[in-house]
Structure 1
Amino acid sequence: MLPLSPNQLADLAEQCLRRDDPHALDKVISLHYDALGYYNAMHACRGQLLCNLGTMLHTRSERQGNNQDLDEAIPLLRESVALHPGGHPNRFMSLSNLANGLSARFGHRSNVQDLDEAIVLQREALALVPVGHTHQYMSLNNLATTLSTRFQHRDNRQDLADAITLYREALDLLPVGHPNRFVLLNNLAKRLSARFDRQGDDQDLDDAIALHREALALCPVGHPHRSRPLNDLAKQLFARFDRRNNNEDLDDAIALHREALALRPVGHPHRSKPLNDLANQLSTRFHCRSNDQDLDDAIALHREALALCPVGHQERVTSLTNLANALSTRFKHRGNDENLDDAIALNREALALHPVGHPHRPISLQSLATTLSTCFEHRHNGQDLQESLENLRCALTLMTQHDPRQLIVHTSLATVYLLFHQSGLDGTGEDTDSLNAAMHHLKAAANVVSAGLLPRLQASLSWVRHVRQHSHGTELEAYVTSMQLLDAYMSAMASVSSRHNAMKDIFPSILAVEAASCALRSGDTCRAVELLEQGRTIIWTQMTRLRTPLDSFQTCGDHAVILMKRFRELSSLIDKPPASHPEGTPGVDVEAEETKYRRLVEDWNRAVEEIRKIKGFSRFLLPPLFSDLQDAARDGPIIVLIASKSSCNAIIIPHKQPPTSIQLPTDWGKLLKLVLRFREAVQKQAGPKRTKPELIKALRELWCDVVRPVVDNLDGFACRGSRIWWCPTWLFSFLPLHAAGEYRQHGPSLSQLYVSSYTPSLTALMRARRSYDRSLSVHFAAVGQNRPSSASSTLDCVEPELELVRSLLPPPPTVSFTKITSIDATKSGALCALRDNTWLHFACHGTQNFEEPFRSAFLMRDQPLSLLDITQMNLSRHEFAFLSACETAVGDFHTPDEVVHLAAGLQFAGVKSVIGTLWRVDDSTVQRLVDAFYTYLCGDGTMNSKRAARALHRAVQSLACDKDMPLDQRIVFMHIGI
Structure 2
Amino acid sequence: MLLAKVYLSFHHSVLDDTGAGEDNDSLNAAMHHLKAAANVVSGGPLSRLRASLHWVTDAHQHSHATELEAYATSMQLLDAYMSTTASVSSRHNIMKDFPSTLVVEAASCAIRSGDVYHAVELLEQGRTIIWTQMTRLRTPLDSLQNRSDHTAALMKKFRNLSSLLDKPPANYPEAAPRVYVEAEETRYRCLVKDWNRTVEEIWKIESLSCFLLPPLFSDLQDAARDGPIIVLIASKSSCHAIIIPYNQPPTSIQLPTNFGKLVRLVLTLQGAIKKDASPKKNQTALIKALRELWHDVVRPVVENLGGFTRRGSQIWWCPTSLFSFLPLHAAGEYRANGESLSQQYISSYTPSLTALTRARRSHDRSLSVSFAAIGQNRPAGASFTLGGVEPELDMVLSLLPPPPTVFSTKVTSVDATKSRALCALRDNTWLHFACHGAQKFPEPFKSAFLMRDHPLSLLDITQMDLSQHQFAFISACETAVGDPTTPDEVIHLAAGLQFAGVKSVVGTLWKVNDSTMQRLVEAFYKNLCGDSTMNPKRAARALHRAVQSLACDKDMPLDQRIVFMHIGV
Match of residue 160 from structure 2: 569
For 1:103-502, list aligned pairs within 5 A.
411-426=1-16, 427-429=18-20, 430-502=22-94
Match of residue 552 from structure 1: 143
Measured against aligned partners, the alpha-carbon deviations of 1:257-312 in whole angstroms (never above 9, x if no partner) come to xxxxxxxxxxxxxxxxxxxxxxxxxxxxxxxxxxxxxxxxxxxxxxxxxxxxxxxx
What amino acid is the match of 1:462?
Answer: H
Q: Does 1:606 align with 2:201?
A: no
Match of residue 80 from structure 1: none
TM superposition shift of 1:511: 1.1
What amino acid is the match of 1:754?
Answer: Y
Whole-angstrom distance in 2 between the partners of 1:773 and 1:842: 21
For 1:39-118, list aligned pairs within 5 A.
none
Whole-angstrom distance in 2 between the partners of 1:555 and 1:544: 23
Q: Which one of the candidate residues 85, 99, 103 is aligned to 1:512?
A: 103
More displaced stretch, 549-558 vs 467-476: 549-558
8 Å CA contact 1:414, 1:437 repeated in 2: yes
Whole-angstrom distance in 2 between the partners of 1:437 and 1:722: 53
Alignment CA distance shift 1:587-1:458 (3 Å): closer
Q: Which of 1 and 2 has greater Rg?
A: 1
Measured against aligned partners, the alpha-carbon deviations of 1:23-48 in whole angstroms (never above 9, x if no partner) come to xxxxxxxxxxxxxxxxxxxxxxxxxx
Among all aligned residue pairs of Structure 1 and Structure 2, give the percentage whose two residues are the same amino acid: 78
TM superposition shift of 1:558: 1.8
What amino acid is the match of 2:68?
Answer: L
Measured against aligned partners, the alpha-carbon deviations of 1:84-103 in whole angstroms (never above 9, x if no partner) come to xxxxxxxxxxxxxxxxxxxx
Whole-angstrom distance in 1 between the partners of 2:384 and 2:556: 22
Secondary structure of the corresponding residue to residue 555 of structure 1: coil
8 Å CA contact 2:364, 2:470 repeated in 1: no
Q: Does 1:911 align with 2:519?
A: no
Q: Does 1:835 align with 2:426?
A: yes
TM superposition shift of 1:760: 0.2
TM superposition shift of 1:428: 2.4
TM superposition shift of 1:587: 11
Q: Which one of the candidate residues 769, 779, 790 is aligned to 2:370?
A: 779
Whole-angstrom distance in 2 between the partners of 1:458 and 1:588: 28
Whole-angstrom distance in 2 between the partners of 1:804 and 1:810: 12
8 Å CA contact 1:889, 1:901 repeated in 2: yes
Q: Does 1:755 align with 2:333?
A: no
TM superposition shift of 1:577: 2.4
TM superposition shift of 1:557: 2.0
Q: How many residue pairs were aligned?
A: 567
Match of residue 790 from structure 1: 381
What amino acid is the match of 1:728?
Answer: P
Q: Does 1:803 align with 2:394?
A: yes
8 Å CA contact 1:789, 1:862 repeated in 2: yes
Whole-angstrom distance in 2 between the partners of 1:773 and 1:540: 24
Match of residue 449 from structure 2: 858
TM superposition shift of 1:975: 0.1
Match of residue 525 from structure 1: 116
Secondary structure of the corresponding residue to residue 386 of structure 2: coil
Q: Normalization by structure 1: what TM-score?
A: 0.57
TM superposition shift of 1:665: 0.1
What amino acid is the match of 2:494?
Answer: A
Whole-angstrom distance in 1 between the partners of 2:244 and 2:7: 42
8 Å CA contact 1:846, 1:857 repeated in 2: yes
Measured against aligned partners, the alpha-carbon deviations of 1:112-149 in whole angstroms (never above 9, x if no partner) come to xxxxxxxxxxxxxxxxxxxxxxxxxxxxxxxxxxxxxx
TM superposition shift of 1:433: 0.2
TM superposition shift of 1:790: 3.5
Whole-angstrom distance in 1 between the partners of 2:102 and 2:381: 37
Instruction: Please list every run of 5 or more consecutive structure 2 residues that lacks an aligned counterpart in the other structure.
Output: none
8 Å CA contact 2:86, 2:168 repeated in 1: no
Q: Which one of the candidate residues 517, 523, 526 is aligned to 1:926?
A: 517
Secondary structure of the corresponding residue to residue 70 of structure 2: helix
TM superposition shift of 1:598: 1.2
Whole-angstrom distance in 2 between the partners of 1:691 and 1:760: 32
8 Å CA contact 2:170, 2:184 repeated in 1: no
Secondary structure of the corresponding residue to residue 311 of structure 2: coil
Measured against aligned partners, the alpha-carbon deviations of 1:176-196 in whole angstroms (never above 9, x if no partner) come to xxxxxxxxxxxxxxxxxxxxx
Q: Which one of the candidate residues 651, 657, 660 is aligned to 2:248?
A: 657
TM superposition shift of 1:791: 3.3
Q: Does 1:535 align with 2:126?
A: yes
Whole-angstrom distance in 1 between the partners of 2:462 and 2:284: 39
Match of residue 408 from structure 1: none
TM superposition shift of 1:554: 1.0
What amino acid is the match of 2:45?
Answer: L
Measured against aligned partners, the alpha-carbon deviations of 1:753-811 in whole angstroms (never above 9, x if no partner) come to 00000000000000001115543210000000010013343200100000000000000
Match of residue 175 from structure 2: 584
Match of residue 899 from structure 1: 490
Measured against aligned partners, the alpha-carbon deviations of 1:50-79 in whole angstroms (never above 9, x if no partner) come to xxxxxxxxxxxxxxxxxxxxxxxxxxxxxx
Q: Does 1:700 align with 2:291?
A: yes
Whole-angstrom distance in 2 between the partners of 1:837 and 1:792: 31
Secondary structure of the corresponding residue to residue 932 of structure 1: helix
Secondary structure of the corresponding residue to residue 807 of structure 1: helix
What amino acid is the match of 2:532?
Answer: G
The higher relative CO (CA closer than 8 Å, separation ≥ 6) is in: 2
8 Å CA contact 2:505, 2:568 repeated in 1: yes
Whole-angstrom distance in 1 between the partners of 2:329 and 2:155: 42
TM superposition shift of 1:938: 0.3
TM superposition shift of 1:591: 1.9
Q: Normalization by structure 2: what TM-score?
A: 0.98
What amino acid is the match of 1:461?
Answer: L
Whole-angstrom distance in 1 between the partners of 2:210 and 2:128: 19
Secondary structure of the corresponding residue to residue 713 of structure 1: helix
Measured against aligned partners, the alpha-carbon deviations of 1:794-842 in whole angstroms (never above 9, x if no partner) come to 2001000000000000001110101000011111111101110000000
8 Å CA contact 2:465, 2:500 repeated in 1: yes
Whole-angstrom distance in 2 between the partners of 1:419 and 1:444: 18
Aligned Cα RMSD in Å? 1.1
Whole-angstrom distance in 1 between the partners of 2:176 and 2:7: 51
Whole-angstrom distance in 1 between the partners of 2:33 and 2:143: 43
Q: Which one of the candidate residues 961, 968, 972 is aligned to 2:552?
A: 961
TM superposition shift of 1:689: 1.2
Match of residue 366 from structure 1: none
Measured against aligned partners, the alpha-carbon deviations of 1:581-626 in whole angstroms (never above 9, x if no partner) come to 3322589922211211111111111111111111100000000000
Instruction: Please list every run of 5 or more consecutive structure 1 residues that lacks an aligned counterpart in the other structure.
Output: 1-410
Secondary structure of the corresponding residue to residue 842 of structure 1: strand
TM superposition shift of 1:910: 0.4
Whole-angstrom distance in 2 between the partners of 1:510 and 1:712: 28
8 Å CA contact 1:791, 1:859 repeated in 2: no
Q: Does 1:618 align with 2:209?
A: yes
Match of residue 882 from structure 1: 473
TM superposition shift of 1:550: 1.1
8 Å CA contact 1:581, 1:588 repeated in 2: no
Whole-angstrom distance in 1 between the partners of 2:402 and 2:364: 21
Whole-angstrom distance in 2 between the partners of 1:772 and 1:727: 22
Structure holding more helix per residue: 1
Whole-angstrom distance in 2 between the partners of 1:651 and 1:732: 13
Secondary structure of the corresponding residue to residue 322 of structure 2: helix
